[in-house]
Amino acid sequence: MEIIIKNVTDFNLKYTLESGQSFRWNWVDDAYFGVVQRQILKIQQKNDTLIIHSSYEQDKTSFLTHLHHYLDLHRDLANILNAVNVDAYIARAIDMFWGMRLLNQELWETIASFILSQNNNIARIRNIIRTISQRFGQKLEYEGYVDYTFPDPKTLADAGRDKIFDCGTGYRASYLWNAANNVANGELSLDALKLMEYGCAKQELMKLKGVGEKVADCICLFSLGHQQALPIDVWIKRIFERVYLRKRAKPQEIQDFAKNYFGEFVGYAQQYLFHYAQQQPDWDNGDHLTLSFKHK
């Protein structure tokens, strides 16, 4: 089917799909291809119009509803960015990547992806996830583009640790296999997780081996829609130590400062800072905080 969404405000497809929160989108010729809801999606943006093609052919209304949710289009981004735009440093990040949104991705795939992300780089994470999907997922084809669903927990549990290791997952293989078993046997309920508050969901996720504070926060932010989650990876740690706190800081200190400084949408602030720092660190611009124009 084809879906045209017009008058999309404050949305940038490229920044949203290439900001390190999803590992599954591929740019081919003039469009992004990916897998959502076990269907291939082809998405293009022309100014304020989204052109979406999919192999999915049933129930257009519910598909459209899910698409809005997935792309985070139901939120008032301008309001959010205005709230976190409290100094000249993040102002540059916001200005440069205006329209970047936090996705609401499928939960199990997000759990698995960020278990695999630890002590790893984005390019290699993408390769590993592609390999796992190719070997254990279901093959899909649309307009000549071939991709694979991410395998469900039971499939990975049945495959075994060694087969997961063979996908290049390294020491994380046992973590992923363990998580797959926990979900498959009902010890961890994905449906229950979706209903929990942020703190409760994070705590529940951290019961999984291989899921610590940072990975749990990624899952909360990139799948469960908890905008107050602040994943602290090496980049975010560097930003807060060099730009904001100007000293070595433990994760909890950064959490406390950031929550107070940026407020309830700190997760969105984090995404802009992360993407900005990756492309143009600009660490030692010491005058940015004295130029602070909104923060009291």
Partner DNA sequence: TTCCAGGAGAGAG
Partner DNA sequence: CTCTCTCATGGA
Of the candidates 226, 227, 207, 213, the residue with the CA atom closest to the CA atom of residue 268: 227
- The answer to whether the beta carbons of residues 201 and 115 sit under 8 Å apart is no
Q: Alpha carbon 159 to chain centroid distance?
A: 26
Q: Could you say which DSSP state residue 241 is in?
A: I
Q: Which residues contact 105 (CB under 8 A, 6 or more apart)?
A: 21, 22, 70, 222, 223
For the record, the structure tokens of 150 come out as 């991410």
Nearer to DNA, 90 or 211 (CB): 211
Of 5 and 211, which has the nearer Cβ to DNA?
211
d(Cα 43, Cα 50) in Å, to the nearest integer? 7
- Report, in Å, the least distance between residue 242 CB and DNA: 13
Tell me the closest approach of the beta carbon of residue 217 to DNA, in angstroms: 8
Greatest Cα pair distance, the chain, in angstroms, is 57
From the CB of 212, what's the least distance to DNA, in Å?
Answer: 2
**CA quadruple 141, 38, 1, 76: dihedral, nearest 10:** -130
**Which CB atom, from 7 or from 119, has the smaller least distance to DNA?**
119
Cβ nearer to DNA, comparing 131 with 292: 131
Nearer Cβ to DNA, position 20 or 263? Answer: 20
Closest approach of Cβ 58 to DNA, in Å? 33
Beta-carbon contacts of 30 under 8 Å, excluding residues fewer than 6 positions away, are: 44
Q: CB–CB of 83/294 below 8 Å? A: no
- Of 153 and 267, CB closest to DNA: 267
- Residues at the site binding DNA, with contacts judged by CB under 7 A: 19-21, 117-125, 165, 168, 170-171, 206, 208-216, 218, 231-236, 250, 270-271, 274, 278
